[in-house]
Amino acid sequence: MKILANDGIDPVGKKMLEDAGFTVDTQNIPQDHLASRLNEYDALTVRSATKVRKELLDACPNIKLIGRGGVGMDNIDVDYARSKGIAVINTPAASSLSVAELVFAHLFSGVRFLEQANRDMPVKGDTAFNDLKKNYAKGIELRGKTLGVLGFGRIGREAAKMAIGLGMNVLAFDIFDFNSEVELVFADEQKMKFKVSSVSKEYILKNADFITLHVPAVDGKPVIGADEFAMMKKGAAIVNCARGGVIDEAALINALDSGHLAFAGLDVFDNEPTPSKAILSHAKISLSPHIGASTNEAQERIGVELAQRMIEELSKA
């Protein structure tokens, strides 16, 4: 069987598939050429770049499996694919730690003004050093503050564990029932269990100092808009490393400009790959280009998990 890894796959995962007897092609086929080429393959793996919509699936009846290296499958018409007997799998566990670490990179950037300081220092650092020092001298610590986690799946749980390790209080909400106990594993393999507070979304909005989002947009509508920003504490902050569209970006800018919110951290955006200039140029937003899962360690875990699941599924075919 031939597999097209159109958005690439970690070498470890590729070798696992080849050792299992599969041919793996990592040459990228542009989106507009996929319909004419995909029938050369039995299975397809993608990340977020390649879109697998109904029209492509109808044009490629040979495909038996689609593997998504990552968590979200917004770029795949999953239900339609499965209705045609195509297996669709993802790697929900592999990137959780990397995304959670990026959440805290944005939080640290915001509380110590690193986003703006890194813009100012190259321009003014040699002429207005003391002024910059004064401007950015009122940072705050995360320890003792309250983190609200909206969406308590794998990534939300990893974020909660990091917060606990930093001495933060954690509030958690999910639309599904969840286990409020998390286990921290330390470098010497010692383990400790903690319970987080399970509360309502509204309680988090009103009481959290920082909010991290790990939810999909609901029916294409933002989860956090003007009404939700108004409920948040003055001086609070929000981080979105989940999905573009979860936050109403215009309402976010208004909340930042009014001083109601202290800062935001965004790894995902509306209209990717062309986010709004207003968002990209805002002094109170810490930015990264959708790299939550993009660490060497996560990519290897994704490749391994994807290969394992594909071998299992394709062995049934």
Do 144 and 87 share a structural domain?
no
- Under the banding of pLDDT at 50, 70 and 90, the label for residue 218 is confident
Task: Say yes or no: 241 and 104 in one domain.
Answer: yes
Q: Are residues 126 and 87 in the same domain?
A: no
Q: Quick one: 85 and 101 in the same domain?
A: no
Residues 6 and 111 in one domain: no
Q: What is the pLDDT of residues 282-299, one digit of tens each?
A: 999 999 999 999 999 999
Strand 43-46 to strand 181-185: parallel, antiparallel, or no bridges (unpaired)?
unpaired
The answer on pLDDT for 34 being more than 80 is yes
Helix-strand-coil split of the chain, %, nearest 5: 40, 20, 40
Same domain? For 126 and 260 the reply is yes
pLDDT at residue 317 is higher than 80:
no
Q: What is the pLDDT of residue 48?
A: 85
Of 200, 209, 199, the closest CA to residue 234 belongs to: 209
Domain span at residue 154 reads 96-287
Domain total of the chain: 2
Closest CA to 145 of 228, 270, 76, 233: 233
Q: What is the pLDDT of residue 144?
A: 98
Q: Is the pTM of the predicted complex or chain greater than 0.95?
A: no
Residues 201 and 124 in one domain: yes
Q: How many CB atoms lie within 10 A of CB 294?
A: 17
Query: Mean pLDDT, to the nearest integer, of 156-161?
Result: 98
- CB atoms inside a 10 Å sphere around CB 243: 21
pLDDT of the residue at 53: 97
Is the pLDDT score of 311 beyond 70? yes
Average pLDDT over residues 120-136: 97
Q: Which residues are catalytic?
A: 243, 272, 290
pLDDT for the residue 261: 98
Q: Say yes or no: 168 and 35 in one domain.
A: no
Mean pLDDT for the stretch of residues 16-43: 96
Q: Are residues 60 and 102 in the same domain?
A: no
Give me the CATH number covering residue 34.
3.40.50.720
pLDDT per residue over 65-114, tens digit each? 999 998 888 899 999 999 999 999 999 889 999 999 999 999 999 999 99
- Are residues 87 and 219 located together in one domain of the fold? no
pLDDT above 70 (res 234): yes
CA dihedral sign, ordered 158, 227, 257, 142: negative
Are both 25 and 161 inside the same structural domain? Answer: no
pLDDT tens, position by position, 241-286: 999 999 999 999 999 999 999 999 999 999 998 999 999 999 999 9
pLDDT number for residue 74: 86
**Residue pair 188/171 in contact by the 8 Å Cβ criterion:** no
Residues 217 and 81 in one domain: no
CA gyration radius, the chain:
22
